[in-house]
Amino acid sequence: MTGLHELFEAESLLGRAYAALVQHPRIGLTELAEHLGEPPEAVAAALAELVELQAVVRIEDDGGVWDAHAPEALSEAESRRRQAQTARMHAAAARLGETFRSVRRSARGDGTVVPMYETREMIAEFEDLQRNACKTVRLVERGPYVCDDERAERLFELKTARIEAGVRYQLLYQDTIYQDADRLRHALAVTAAGAQARTLPDPPVKVLIADGERASLMLHHDERRGDPMGLRIGPSPTLDLLVRTFDVLWSLAAPISVNPSEPLDERDRAILTLMGLGATDDTIARRLGMSRRTVVRRTASLLERLGASTRFQAGVQAMRRGWL
């Protein structure tokens, strides 16, 4: 089914139909189709999708009069859905961790999942995956940390060298990095070198994935003797799950910032608010007494600061940061 984010994208028929109902409440199908310049059949299909999304309601069956639900309610509902999705991801990761802990040294896994028991083996595996990566490295960096300062510096230099060699890095850090001066310094330095870096409050896993073909997963600390501290994972359904998990976490994360609490000025806050209501650039410009060119420039800057590809994503990330 279509996602709610399409309602806030002016280019799509769904977005245009929803925006028209916001601006022209209690409108009939024929009048709405004329307003949009689209065939009534296409508009009727779009309205059916909007009903499924609980974004619009048909008020009068006989006359076919339509109206929109409040944009704020839709935004809040989508935010709750994403929070529930994150909670399910955490629960799935916990179940996966229990499965990992049950892995034993045997030939049954055909070498696709191999436990690692020593800290030095884990660190060597992290280095090896990065050193041999040809295209991409996806890394979720969170506690527990097993490297001393010297090893952490060596891993930082390795990341920088691989980025210079053309390897694309996506680095996902725990929000606590903002309280760790050395790790934050390293993160900002590799970002300046060309890596992409984002943060989440509590990533459920610590994992490094190289080229989507190999991975190393560090398990949560466990005092039981004989328990593996990590897993080396080759091509398998487990690896596919880790790749999908990373992609979902990445979509929920916010870009790393030198000052994560940097405030918005009043105009940018007003632009974000109007964007969340489905207003076009022209409407925002008129409401705020700005030129359309200035609105477009500020909107692009806000999307970049928030690491968002759509206006709806920008609204979600802005609420996460407490900007709205």
Six-digit token string for 248:
């979902």
* CA–CA gap between residue 269 and residue 45 (Å, rounded): 35
Say what angle helices 237-252 and 71-101 make with each other, to 10 degrees.
Answer: 150
> What's the confidence (pLDDT) of residue 135?
94
**Structure confidence at residue 138 as a pLDDT band (50, 70, 90):** very high
pLDDT tens, residue by residue, 185-202: 888 888 888 999 988 888
User: Which residue stretches of the chain are H helix?
Assistant: 13-23, 29-36, 40-52, 71-101, 119-132, 149-164, 181-193, 237-252, 266-276, 281-288, 292-306, 311-320
**Structure confidence at residue 316 as a pLDDT band (50, 70, 90):** low
pLDDT tens, residue by residue, 237-251: 899 999 999 998 998
Q: Please report the sign of the dihedral spanned by the C-alpha atoms of residue 31, residue 37, residue 40, residue 43.
A: negative
User: What is the identity of the amino acid at 214?
Assistant: R
* CA–CA gap between residue 5 and residue 14 (Å, rounded): 10
pLDDT at 66 over 50: yes
Is the whole model's pTM more than 0.85, yes or no?
no
* CA–CA gap between residue 261 and residue 254 (Å, rounded): 12
pLDDT tens, residue by residue, 79-136: 777 777 787 877 777 667 655 555 443 444 455 888 888 888 888 888 889 999 999 9
* CA–CA gap between residue 274 and residue 281 (Å, rounded): 9
For the segment 274-284, the average pLDDT, to the nearest whole number, is 80
SS3 state at 309 = coil
pLDDT at 298 over 60: yes
